[in-house]
Amino acid sequence: MLVRLQNDLPQATLDSILLVCKELGYSSRLLNESRTLLELEGLGVPEHRSKLEDLTGVRAVLEASEARELHQKRPGKEATRVRARGASFGDGHLSLIAGPCAVEDPERLIDIAKRVEAAGATLLRGGAYKPRTSPYSFQGSGERGLESLRAAREATGLGIVTEVLDPRDVELVGDACDMFQIGARNMTNTPLLHEVGRTDKPVLLKRGFAATVREFVLAAEFILSEGNENIVLCERGIRSFDNTTRNILDVGAVAHLKRATHLPVIVDPSHAAGRGDLVRDLARAGLAAGADGLIVEVHPAPDEAHSDGAQAISAEEFSRIVDDARILAGLDGRRLILPNTPPATLPVESLS
Ligand code: PEP
Ligand code: MN
């Protein structure tokens, strides 16, 4: 049996749970550092299950055969809807994230923020800490970048999505953003996954470029197992033998994940394409496969961008994507959330 325990149990409560397990004839083993998962080995008598479920500090008791992983779709339960400031992902709601790859100078960031908000984004993206393939590439502007993001949030109604690379920075970055981004290069950084899992802030988790779908959902499982359910999965393309596009957008994975998990799934057509001219087409493909939103790199002067200029698109091209998204969402009864949508007008009905 698997026992899910509440977070931050006092030692005395945990000890008394362990004692009851022992008295019932089970040997027990805590499976994680945060002490929320307890594995029991023994007879598995059905009556023991309800006895254990009644104990203070126990959230649920599962038979090994029915121990569902936390990301899995729950029969009869609605899909998870993740909200971050004005954005809403999942359960029939789509939202769009847009902005530069990296935070550059503050005025330019505010200018981009205003343009993408006018076009229809509800969240501004921009990395203050950049995970680069080479140590000699621009590594981001760090705390100054976080300040610029705060200023852009003040200047617009947009929420902020920005990447956190290091578990020690979770508090610092969390103070400046409405949604953490965990990038492809950090999908398997388990200390980081644990740390964001201990917050209740939404997390945009990107698929590693060589990660299987199974590894991707297990990365989400690390966050979920700490108690944070506010996860948006992001397919951003995987590596292949072909370099016509930077990566291969795995639309099959998007369609699969929409069926297999209750978590929202969005698509990043920018890192998948690596070329601005293909971003809109891949965005459409992702939405047609069922994505609950997009994250798109937008820059007014791609040649001057500190990183990923080749895949940046203009705000005008982004606004065409917004129009596509509105239409594609409507095709299957979903709704694109636009800036300044009053909460009362948001649809409550969900897709079956
Ligand atoms: C990014 O969003 O700028 C980024 C670095 O993306 P990824 O982690 O998907 O490469
Ligand atoms: Mn980028």
pLDDT digits (tens, 9 = 90+) for 171-222: 999 999 999 999 999 999 999 999 999 999 999 999 999 999 999 999 999 9
HSE-CB at 82 with a 13 A cutoff on CA atoms is 26
Q: What's the mean pLDDT when you consider all of the chain?
A: 94
Going by alpha carbons, the residue nearest to atom 4 of ligand 1 is 183
Q: Residue 74: what pLDDT?
A: 81
Tokens of 100: 């530069």
For the cut 50, the answer to whether the pLDDT of residue 352 exceeds it is no
Task: Give yes or no for residue 283 having a pLDDT over 90.
Answer: yes
Which listed ligand is nearest to 164 at the C-alpha?
Answer: 1
- Cα 307 to averaged position of ligand 2 atoms, centre (Å): 6
Neighbouring CB atoms inside 10 A of 50's CB total 9
- The better pLDDT of the pair 77, 236 is held by 236
* 9-23, 64-78, 138-152, 269-283, range with the lowest pLDDT: 64-78
Residue 351 has pLDDT above 50, yes or no: no
Residues in Cβ contact with 75 at an 8 Å cutoff, skipping those fewer than 6 apart: none
Asked whether 346 and 93 are in contact (CB, 8 A), the reply is yes
- Mean pLDDT is lowest, of 32-41, 121-130, 138-147, 329-338, for 32-41
Looking at residue 33, its pLDDT comes to 79
For ligand 1, atom 9, the nearest C-alpha belongs to: 184
CA of 271 to the centre of ligand 2 (A): 6
**So what's the pLDDT on residue 32?**
81
Choose between 163 and 64: higher pLDDT: 163
| Ligand (nearest to CA of 306) | 2
For residue 102, give the ligand 1 atom closest to its CA: 3
Tens digits of residue pLDDT in 298-324: 999 999 999 999 999 999 999 999 999
User: What is the reported pLDDT for 276?
Assistant: 98
pLDDT value of position 350: 40
* Structure confidence at residue 188 (pLDDT): 98
Cα dihedral sign, 205-206-211-216: positive
Averaged pLDDT, 215-239? 96
Binding-site residues, ligand 1, Cβ < 6 A: 101, 127, 131, 183-185, 206, 236, 268, 271
pLDDT more than 90, % of the chain: 84
The token pair that represents 88 in the structure block: 């809403």
Which of 205, 271, 297 best tests ligand 1's pocket when mutated (most atoms within 8 Å of CB)?
271
Whose Cα sits closest to atom 3 in ligand 1?
Answer: 101
Distance, CA of 6 to CA of 14 (rounded, Å): 10
Q: 345 falls in which pLDDT band (50, 70, 90)? A: low
Sort strands 203-206 and 58-62 into parallel, antiparallel or unpaired: unpaired
In this prediction the pTM is: 0.87
Q: Which atom of ligand 1 is nearest to the CA of 130?
A: 5
Span 222-231, average pLDDT = 94
* 344 pLDDT more than 60: no
- Answer for the pair 115, 300: CB distance below 8 angstroms, yes or no: yes
Protein residue with least CA distance to atom 1, ligand 1 = 101
Distance (angstroms) between ligand 2 centre and the Cα of 100 equals 8
Residue 68 has pLDDT above 90, yes or no: no
pLDDT of the residue at 337: 98
Is the predicted pLDDT of residue 346 greater than 70, yes or no?
Answer: no
Phi, psi (rounded to 5 degrees) for 84: -140, 110
Least confident of 129-133, 149-153, 213-217, 244-248: 129-133
